[in-house]
């Protein structure tokens, strides 16, 4: 779940709002003006649809090693 700028996310399924696909020590929220498709070309994979919260829209993604992160695109 996105909680604002560059903040660590829950480290275990019991702390998060969705089951994790594997053991993760930490995940990060990332903001960039790059579109999600650009991040995908670098090896990241979308882990669901676009989500929204009180802060705005974000995409949960995973790097090639399976580490999940929230990606906020289009930041000016």
Query: pLDDT tens, 3-61?
Result: 444 444 444 444 455 555 555 556 677 777 778 888 888 898 998 888 888 877 888 88
Cβ contact 57:44 at 8 Å:
no
What is the per-residue pLDDT for 34? 77
Q: How far is it, in rounded angstroms, from Cα 40 to Cα 5? A: 21
Write the DSSP assignment of 20-50 as a string of letters.
-SS--S--EEEEESS-HHHHHHTT-EEEEEE
Which pTM does this prediction carry? 0.55
Task: Give the domains, in start order, of the chain with CATH numbers.
Answer: 26-73 (3.30.720)
């Amino acid at each position: 779940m996105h909680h604002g700028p560059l903040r660590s996310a829950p480290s275990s399924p019991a702390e998060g709002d969705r089951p994790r696909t594997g053991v993760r020590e930490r995940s990060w929220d990332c903001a960039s003006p790059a579109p999600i498709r650009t991040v995908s070309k670098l090896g990241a994979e979308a882990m669901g649809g676009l989500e929204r919260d009180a802060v705005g829209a974000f995409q949960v993604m995973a790097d090639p090693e399976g580490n999940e992160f929230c990606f906020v695109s289009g930041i000016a």
